[in-house]
Amino acid sequence: MAEQRSLPVPDGLEGERLDAALSRLFGFSRTRAAELIVDGDVLVDGSPAAKSDRVHAGAWLDVTLPPPPSAPMPVAEPVPGMTIVYEDDDIVVVNKPIGVAAHPTTGWTGPTVIGGLLGTGHRVATSGAAERQGIVHRLDANTTGAMVVAKSEHAYSRLKRAFKERTVDKRYHALVQGHPDPLRGTVDAPIDRHPSGDGRFAVVAGGKESVTHYDTIEAFRAASLLDIKLETGRTHQIRVHMSALRHPCVGDMMYGADPTLAARLGITRQWLHAVSLAFEHPATGEWVSFTTDYPDDLAHALKVVGEESW
């Protein structure tokens, strides 16, 4: 339901453009403010106005704010290429393919892990927000590999706690440009949204604590294959930390990868795969471990880069 807001223009906004004044008053972008003005949802002293009109202190604003978008719900349909690594009454471990999000989000219209499981008749926990029930951790849409989903409420609670307390062993393989120096190390650098607001993340002072351990498995002429252990689980963490080291994941153009190298290796996304996942089973308490193979595009790129080695 739309929300009506009425308030006077503060003295501090005297002479500001209407779109800029709305942006500062309500905290949304000037583009969004301009859209509201063009749609006739903003009145100044009872009359429509243009986005470039200057406002005067004390003028009365009447603004109709649209309702917030409702969370999208999962579409229950099978996801091609998504395989089940392990399943019991409490958990299901999948090997997530490229181009699949963990759960629905605003703006994502592609397939999801949760929708794929529901579409093939798998039961998932009902805990958590409706659009991401059973989801206890996530992988980027274009990062492939091992992902666990809770099927029972007990498993959901235990696994959420395990991820929060960092008792889950999350291992990734990443093909990065060049050769990290040292060949084994730890990146301890806080991450938050990139100041540009373009969807990227970055190492930012005052960001969330983020710790990545890496070890070189093999060095090739143009790239290095790394084994990576995540201590924390921030959005884009490995991609951001490798980029900060000036060794971005091969193919990760969002974070500064060389498009020429990516084209030579035939890869169109970041070379990053969640190779294994290990944790205490939420029902038995037994330590369990699951591994996944590289998908075809990553395996091909690794073969090509290996053929170029010394």
Residues with Cβ within 8 Å of 39's Cβ and at least 6 positions away in sequence, in order, are: none
Element spanning 32, H or E: helix 30-38
With beta carbons less than 8 A apart as the criterion, state whether 191 and 201 touch.
Answer: yes
- CA–CA dist 224, 216 (Å, integer): 7
- CA–CA dist 127, 150 (Å, integer): 9
- CA–CA dist 172, 47 (Å, integer): 58
From the candidates 41, 140, 252, 296, give the one annotated as an active-site residue: 140
Task: Give the CA dihedral 181, 184, 190, 193, nearest 10 degrees.
Answer: 70
CA 243 from chain centre, in angstroms, equals 16
- CA–CA dist 102, 98 (Å, integer): 11
- CA–CA dist 175, 266 (Å, integer): 13
- CA–CA dist 265, 255 (Å, integer): 18
Q: Establish whether the linkage from the previous residue to 182 is cis, with ω within 30° of 0.
A: yes
Q: How far is CA 11 from CA 8, 60, 238, 289, in A?
A: 9, 12, 46, 62
In 10 A of CB 64, how many CB atoms?
Answer: 14
Task: For the chain, report the end-to-end CA distance as a whole number of angstroms.
Answer: 64
- The question of whether 140 is a catalytic residue gets the answer yes
Catalytic positions, written as ranges: 140
